[in-house]
Amino acid sequence: MKNIYKKIVCLFALGLTFASCENYLDDAPKGSKIPTTLADYEAFLRDEYTNHRVNITGASQLLNDQYVTLATLSSDRLINANYMWDQNADRIALKVSDETTYYAGYQAISTFNLIIENALNTTNATEAEKRIVWAEAKVLRAMNYFNLVNFYADTYVASTATTKLSVPLITSANINAPSKQVTIQELYDFILNDVKEALPYLPKVSQTVLHPNLGTGYAFYARVFLQMNNYTEALKYADLALAENNKLYDWIAFYNSNKTLIETPGNYTTFVSPMGYNYVENYNYRHGAIDYLTTENSIPVERAQRFEAGDARFLSRWKTYTVGAETYFRRTLSGAFNFGGITTVEVYLIKAECLARDNKISDALAVLNTVRKTRILPVSYQDISTTDKTTALKAIYRTKNNELVNTLIPFADARRLNAEGVYPVSFSKVASGTTYTLPSNSHMWTMPFPQGAVKNPGNGTITQNVAK
């Protein structure tokens, strides 16, 4: 990890070649520039292809939120283990190559560490301007650590968080900085503190959608507190976030505008994704597994069946497709997809869950139905109405999983619910006459570190958080 961290620190895109480590700043290579002004450092926040990649492919495959072809299942044993829920597979042994989830995550953390260390001492800017960039980097660093801990470590449980290990915590861009694998509690405390320090300086309107604003800070706080089962604080910050932005995209209007092509059998003409940089639901934007103009994942038939009837968002994005012996739902959108940032719909559903947890069922369902009215076609729509807490929460989880499919959140939520044990998440499917299951207590809900990270952990050590 030290070698790759050195490369991350000392070489960046944007035409800026530098190192904050050791004495490399003594001389600037010909044609390169040493960052000194705030604008130099702020430019790193705009490097979306390096610093805004949130790859959670392994989690999507485990949830079967992403269709995997028979050819890939035959050729890639690690993907096969996750997708087919092979409880006996040694995923540690199979993870022989480096993994984008880990290295892209720490690559971005290195950038944010560099900004945090230097932004307040830059030139050509006011103190207020420096604080904004510093605060934006703080939020983004916290977001990356949240993603990593909810992929490579067990979920947060208060009774065990002080003893279970999480991921390496690195707070400096210096290549000789210590790399300490802290406890889950220590890492969550660090994440919360980063956001706490950033909130007073975040602008209400950011320079670009890549830059976190005040709404982003509140929304992310709500996400973290929910993962910690602190429903009071999660609700508080969900309300604050929605006060900054409460817009929902009208997927029914999108469907109606493209209805002819959508409903034409066998027509897989792709439409431009509305979920890109200008999506009205964005608090901030970050790429998912793929960080360039592309199409999104296709999904299995079984996964498609979990969407509500008349879901315009689903109907606008996927259509059944058969090739040879394989049938799945093929994607029909191309462009940009905000799979790594935070959107208003997530915050609406955080609020709905928190209200339901507090037995305010009618209020919770009012929030849920506010979302559904922008998604479910009128011919299929009915308000969800119940006085039963379990029924209400299951409806909230169903909508949330469908809304945030192929993001980290359904995976993180499932782990949280499984640890709680009241609303456990498990899966079952039949393939070629064989039944496969993923139980709620499976070790597979925690992903192993890649071998390269364990063998070369930098200035520290890494202990696997899962047996296999």
Q: What is the pLDDT of residue 402?
A: 98
Q: What is the pLDDT of residue 292?
A: 58
Q: 318 is written with which tokens?
A: 């996927």
The CATH-assigned architecture of domain 1-210+430-468 is Alpha Horseshoe (1.25)
Closest CA relative to residue 342, chosen from 206, 187, 450: 206
Residue 17 has pLDDT above 70, yes or no: no
Alpha-carbon distance of 440 to 421, in angstroms, equals 9
**Residues 187/166, Cβ–Cβ less than 8 Å:** yes
Domain ranges of the chain: 1-210+430-468, 211-284+294-335+342-406
pLDDT tens-digit readout, 446-467: 999 999 999 988 889 999 999 9
The structure tokens 């993870």 sit at: 95
Closest CA relative to residue 72, chosen from 326, 290, 292, 446: 326
Range from 16-30, 35-49, 82-96 carrying the lowest mean pLDDT: 16-30
Which of residues 268 and 163 earns the better pLDDT score?
A: 163
**Residues 355/235, Cβ–Cβ less than 8 Å:** yes
Averaged pLDDT for residues 122-147? 97
Instruction: Give the pLDDT band of residue 21 (cuts 50, 70, 90).
Output: very low
CA triplet 332, 261, 310: central angle to 5 degrees?
75
Q: What is the average pLDDT score of the chain?
A: 92
Residue 2 has pLDDT above 60, yes or no: no
Q: What is the pLDDT of residue 31?
A: 55
How many other CB atoms are found less than 10 A from the CB of residue 117?
Answer: 17
Range from 20-24, 181-185, 277-281 carrying the lowest mean pLDDT: 20-24
Instruction: Give the pLDDT band of residue 4 (cuts 50, 70, 90).
Output: very low
Q: Let me know if the fold of 1-210+430-468 is the same as that of 211-284+294-335+342-406.
A: yes
How many other CB atoms are found less than 10 A from the CB of residue 324?
Answer: 7
Strand partners, 282: 343
State which fold the 211-284+294-335+342-406 domain adopts. 1.25.40
Instruction: Give the pLDDT band of residue 268 (cuts 50, 70, 90).
Output: confident
Averaged pLDDT for residues 281-290? 91
Instruction: Give the pLDDT band of residue 108 (cuts 50, 70, 90).
Output: very high
Q: What is the pLDDT of residue 30?
A: 55
Residue type, 326: E
Q: What is the pLDDT of residue 32?
A: 60
Size of the chain in residues? 468
What percent of the chain is modeled with pLDDT above 70?
92
Residue type, 348: Y
Which of residues 2 and 245 earns the better pLDDT score?
A: 245
